[in-house]
Structure 1
Amino acid sequence: MPIIETRNLCKRYGTVMRVTNLALQVPEGSIYGFLGPNGAGKSTTLKMILGLVRPTQGEIQVFGQPMNRGNRIAVLRQVGSLIESPSYYGHLTGEENLRIVQTLRGLPPKAIREVLEIVRLEGQRGKKVCHYSLGMKQRLGIATALLGYPKLLILDEPTNGLDPAGIQEMRELIRDLPSRFGMTVVVSSHLLSEIDQMADTVGIIREGVLVFQDTLAALHGRSRHHLALRTTNNALAAQVLREKGIGWTEEGDYLVLPILPDEQAAGLCRALVEGRLGLVRLEERQKSLEDIFLELTGGKEVSL
């Protein structure tokens, strides 16, 4: 049973559909990368899963239970989250901020020390949060979400605004959570490179519509090697390919072929030359993950 499952999930603001018929399935124990350009509907979806925004229609199940007014509080006791930006009292220390949440949730005092160690803030526990760097505030937000070791952790753009060292630190922290604590982690991002280094399952959203959902390995599998052929007359070259039973597609000035054994590729080149066709270029190519992502998201510019 998936930890999170949505069916026909929709959210309309006025006349604009922000999320349309979304069907997420988040496997237990996974790091699920929720990927898409800014404004694609990621934060809206996560807010609906947490009960912060009411869906226009559709169903949400968390831990196999419907997320509704009747059981929302019981479900959320097992969920930690950081949506958009961390909340804190700037005039209090990091430890004092965590103590408020620890008291409200009825957790033992030692929980504060444990989460500060996990996010590597134990040395800054007595410092006022208004003097924290952006990265430290992000880590404090994750420490708050980790209090009580929830079964499910939802992080919305956790690397936003961090420098490269902070991004790497955050990435290592997130990657470690399922194996150390048995958590399922949902992490949203518009950064393909980040999701590629953290997640094992990926959902890609475009303008509120889920356009891909599978393992990261399956996404990499779309980036297959192929041959790109360019001649002085591609129409005649296509005839030669048909005669030899080689499939092809057209892409700009190139005919795109599957990878051929060396002997078959050599025979093709020979046939083209014998047909008095100028062989301008025959090269092996592979689509990058960035190319695949841009195709899936409609070619919108994203940070890669």
Structure 2
Amino acid sequence: METVPGDQVADFRRFNRCYTRRIGVLDDRYLGQDRPLGEARLLFEIAERDGPDGVSLRELRSRLGLDAGYLSRMTKTLERQGMVRLDVHPGDNRLRTVRLTPAGRVEVTEQNRRADSLAAGVLGGLDAEQRARLTGALATAGRLLRLAAITVERVDGHAPDARACLDAYAGDLDVRFPEGFDRTDLVRPEEVSGDAGAFFVAYEEGRPVGCGALRRQAAGIGEIRHVWVHAGARRLGLARRILDALEAEALRRDWTVVRLDTHAALTEARALYRACGYTEIPAYADHVYADHWFEKRLAG
């Protein structure tokens, strides 16, 4: 991980202190309700994800990054107060689910009203141009914080997450390519495992949201395949993160050149590769879906 300058760390912490004080995170009565922030946030997340069968505690634990014991204690407190009801998932008796009671829905409605009022009060101290700058900056901060929390991990080419990502990738291309996409073109697990290559999966809150493959193309040359990002995780800069991981893996294997190809329909992919230092070259292989070929020489 890159070393972060101390002044940037200090700026980040200073903003956190200012923001948490302003919205009342330190108060045991968040938004003036008789409830601390942790319980209020849990009620909000249950309301956001409540379905016909409720929401599983496993999903909430992953979403909020909470210890299982702490989440269980909070949920039982809310149950005693009549805010939520705990059940067993009808399709899987190993899963515990939770959903709001009518009283819980009333409290969340009031919570949202007070939160909206607080936000309007903060923004009301600024003029229209300043509000636009602030909300734009917050949107950028949100995207970067999401990206910072995503991990890119090497997995075996046979791993279920690897195959699931490739299935989603193939589905996207089948829609975008005028001629459709034949799944037999996907890399085989043995091509991207062990000495032959590598496969990387990007995870957000435990869910696969992107992938990329690297395989040996020739002596000292690696080929990048199937760089893909889930639609819900695009415009974060994740594709660059995946490319960085693939390039670093190539260097680790002493592959000092990487190549890739792309379809004419994928204009955003070509823009990304050029921005990341790839140069368009003549065709290096006969590939039915390739219209453009790229190469990059890696610096150790």
For CA contacts below 8 A with separation 6 or more, give which structure has more relative contact order: 1
TM-score by length of structure 1 reads 0.23
TM-score by length of structure 2 reads 0.23
Higher normalized helix content (fraction of residues): 2
Higher normalized strand content (fraction of residues): 1
